[in-house]
Each structure stands twice: as C-alpha cells, then as structure tokens.
Structure 1
C-alpha cells in the first residue's frame, strides 16, 4: 500500500474497503500522498477512527465522495471533521456506524450544502436529524437512505420529502416507526420510496 501511494500520487478514486491488514498508521500515511483523491471508500475498516478521518479530510481536500460504511469506531466527531474540511462533499455514506447520532448529522446539515447522496442506514439518527436535513439540505439532496433507523418519525420524513424538492429516492427498509407510506407519497409524488417492514419485499412509489 505504501508503494502504491508513492507511485500513484495522482490517483483520484480509491477503494480499500474490507482490506483487513490496513492499519490506522498505514491509512494516515497513505493519505499524505493522495492530494487529488475525489472518491474514497474505506468500508468496514476497524482502523478508521475519528483521528484517521481527521487526517483524511485534511489531506484530501478534493474529496467529493466518502464512504465510511460499517466502520465501528466512527463517531459524530468524524462527521464534524467532514463538515469542517469537506463542505463541498456530494456523496457521504456512514451506514452501519452505530455511534453516529443527530449531533453529527447537525454538523453535516449545517455545512455541507452540496450534498446529494446521504446514507444514514443503521445509525442512531432520529427526528431531529431528519428535520435538520429538511431545513438545511433541501436544495441539493437527491437520495437519502434511512433503513433500520429506529428513532425516525413519520412526520419528520414527510417534512423532508416536502422540503427537499430534488429528492428522488428514499430508503426506509426496516423502519418500524413508519406505518403510512402513502402519506409520504402524497407529500411528494416525485420521490421513489423503498420500504419493507418485514425485510422480505419492497414497495416502490411512482
């Protein structure tokens, strides 16, 4: 990995997700060479902690897409770092990061006004986080995934659909607090909603 970093300094897209031997030191050192990265995927790496994310976002200012999915050590601190150093990010995935809450989402919502794709599935986001997205990311959001978020409310999701006029796709798989998907449909007929409370089928609104 060190050799690749030294020889491929102009690399723009990097996916090192599920590579078990990546360490926090390795990841940090690699980012020193990748000033031109626009897309980074580190899915499922235990080595990715808040301090590593800090180095990533500072060393890679051109990042438009960042996937931190299923990184168990990522917390709200990482989202604050992203909001501070990558305000122009367009694609952000923290699905499966169990320590992400409304506090982190607030930082993203308040600063990242170019955000188009956001995956918060299986995080601790709740009503407050959804409402913040509805208020501050309403001009850009096109795809939001909230599957298995147990604390979101139907009213908050409706508000997001109503405010976010560019929203096209919404995932609500396993969201047991959502009972009336038709009500969400009535708010914004342009949103394609995928949901399945039993996680066995899907429902598409057109």
Structure 2
C-alpha cells in the first residue's frame, strides 16, 4: 500500500477482510474510507478492522455499508469513538435498528457532515454538525426539519430530496416556540411532491438567512409561497424552480441579492422572465433550458433587465433562434458563457 494514500474507495468489492485490516495499518495518511462490510464476519475480524482505523492519526471520513444484520458492527464502531467528521451510511444498511443509529450519533461528538440516505431517521442533537443529507428518507417530516434546526446550532446545509415533507398537516402544537436558525444557508427540497405552501412558509421563517434554495419539481406550492421566500429571505442569491408550475410573477419589490436563477423546464411565456428579472435585476446566471414557450423577445428583455448577466443557458428553447446570440454578444460584451442548442 502507498504511504501517501489519503482516500480509499472499495464499495462492495470482494476482498480478504483480515488482510485489508493489516494493509490499512500501513497507510498512515489515510483519511477517508468507503467500504461495504460483508455479512457473516466474526466479531474478532471486525475488531481488527476497527483497531486498524484507530491506528490512523488522520482518519475522519467513513462511507459505510453493511450487509445483513449490522448492529453489532455499528456498535463496535460507535464504542471505538472514531474521530469522525463525516459519516455516510448508505442504502446497504437497511437493517440498522433505532438503538444502533442512536448509539453511533451519540458517541460521534466531532461529527460535522452526516448523510443518512435510505436509513431510519433518528435524530440526536449534534452541536458540531454543519451539513446533513436526509434525501430519499420517507420518515422525514416537518418535525424532523424543526428538530435539526433547533438541535444543530451550526447547521449550514440541509438536503431533503424526495421525502415526506408536506404529506401530513402541521399540528399547531409543533409550531409553538419555533426555533430560528441564522446559520442555515443552503436548503435543497427538490422532488418533494407533497410540499405545500404552509410548509414552505414555515421553513423560510425559521431559516431567514437562506442564500441557496432548491424547490425543483415541487409542483404543489403556489406562486404566493415563492414570493414569500423573497420577502422573508432577504439574502437569497440562488433559486432553482425547475419544472415548477409557474404562471407569471407580479413582484412589487426588488430582490437585490438574487444572482443565480434556474427556471428550466417551466411552461412560461415571455412575460415571466421579464417580470422576474425586472425585480431581480442583479441576476448573473440565468437558466431557461427547455422553456419551450420563450421567444427571442423574452430573452432580449431578460438580458436588458439584468445588466450584470454573465451566463445564460437556452438549451432546447424551440422558439429562440441562433440570431439572438449575435445580438447578445453585441449588447453585452462581458458575457462569459452562452449556451444555445436545438
């Protein structure tokens, strides 16, 4: 093994586990390991593997998969108190028990980045946590979100793609004394098909410092909820509304901090980008891919309104001809990237 190796990705490949443990001891700079632990391995072999990880002074990142019943291995990792900063528990770990996950989170005091995709959600306060990914976890609800915001004071990035957000009505008791977290900057809520207006409004009220919000493929929220985002999150700089059912925007206020706007795959006419860019005139990156009703007129209006526009993408905009590229280059010589394709 190389003494300079820092990251090792093994996934679920077959290998002699005991020999791997011995090899790990010979990689002093290893900091990240991605591995699926095979089933039917004895406790002695697992102990040797964990001892090997403990011998590494730089080791902080574990991407873990375990086949079969896995609590014994999980408990062994937890009890070893590995100095983990980043933990990814992948979809192989479908047989973790509540106790196993809770034990690991409780003893991971240094954890900063947590990814629990397709794993039972059990939330334990983690005061050092910076980012969490609970995507494709259908146990995630509004209460889960509020618990994270309340018990993770340093949380900056929250990803909840394809969850159960919005599938249940929010009880009034849960909204009493709602937390406010000014550290949350990035919130990805894409593909939450049940996400409703009241949930969106609740979320932006407890995260007023949002800068990056992804509401792609959330077709049950209304235009009013999006406007509420702009009203409450005065620092919003990156908004994605891909495949969102948008009619037209009637903004009566400016959005001076919005710099990146993704409106791809929206069934919108020329009036929508004109209204949006008139209020958000400092947009620097505009994505109108697959907006089949947009014409050259709408593109021109957006470019004229957004005097700081540097990047525009018009993939598969069927009613936009290549002639508009020549106009854009002459109208705005500072363009860095223009994408136009049939």
Q: Settle same-fold status: TM greater than 0.5.
A: yes
CA–CA distance in 2 between the matches of 1:119 and 1:101?
A: 15
Check 1:121–1:137 CA distance in 2 against 1; reply closer, same or farther (3 A cut): farther
User: Rg: which structure is higher?
Assistant: 2
Structure with higher RCO (Cα < 8 A, 6+ apart): 1
Name the SS for the 1:51 alignment partner.
coil
CA–CA distance in 2 between the matches of 1:153 and 1:198?
A: 11
In structure 2, the partner of 1:111 is 232
Query: 71-80 or 30-39: which moved more?
Result: 30-39
CA–CA distance in 1 between the matches of 2:143 and 2:234?
A: 31
Cα distance, 1:171 vs. partner?
1.2
In structure 2, the partner of 1:153 is 269
Task: List structure 1 runs of 4+ shifted beyond 6 angstroms.
Answer: none
1:68 matches 2:189: yes
In structure 1, the partner of 2:65 is none
| Among 232, 252, 258, the residue aligned to 1:141 | 258
1:177 matches 2:293: yes
* 5+ long unaligned stretches in structure 2: 1-100, 106-122, 319-324, 326-336
1:79 matches 2:197: no
CA–CA distance in 2 between the matches of 1:83 and 1:6?
A: 23
In structure 2, the partner of 1:205 is 338
CA–CA distance in 2 between the matches of 1:25 and 1:139?
A: 30
TM-score by length of 1: 0.77
1:90 matches 2:208: no
Count of equivalent residues: 193
Check 1:137–1:87 CA distance in 2 against 1; reply closer, same or farther (3 A cut): farther
- C-alpha offsets along residues 4-26 of structure 1, whole Å, 9 cap, x if unaligned? 243733201111213x4644398
TM-score by length of 2: 0.49
* 5+ long unaligned stretches in structure 1: none
The answer to which structure has the higher helix fraction is 1
In structure 2, the partner of 1:48 is 165
Name the SS for the 2:187 alignment partner.
strand
Cα distance, 1:136 vs. partner?
3.1
CA–CA distance in 1 between the matches of 2:132 and 2:194?
A: 20
Cα distance, 1:38 vs. partner?
1.6
Check 1:27–1:99 CA distance in 2 against 1; reply closer, same or farther (3 A cut): same
Check 1:168–1:25 CA distance in 2 against 1; reply closer, same or farther (3 A cut): closer
Q: Would you say the 8 A contact 2:185–2:210 is kept in 1?
A: yes
Query: 73-82 or 152-161: which moved more?
Result: 152-161
Check 1:11–1:156 CA distance in 2 against 1; reply closer, same or farther (3 A cut): same
Check 1:8–1:107 CA distance in 2 against 1; reply closer, same or farther (3 A cut): same
In structure 2, the partner of 1:194 is 313
Name the SS for the 1:136 alignment partner.
coil
Check 1:98–1:2 CA distance in 2 against 1; reply closer, same or farther (3 A cut): farther
Check 1:10–1:159 CA distance in 2 against 1; reply closer, same or farther (3 A cut): same
Q: Would you say the 8 A contact 2:125–2:152 is kept in 1?
A: no
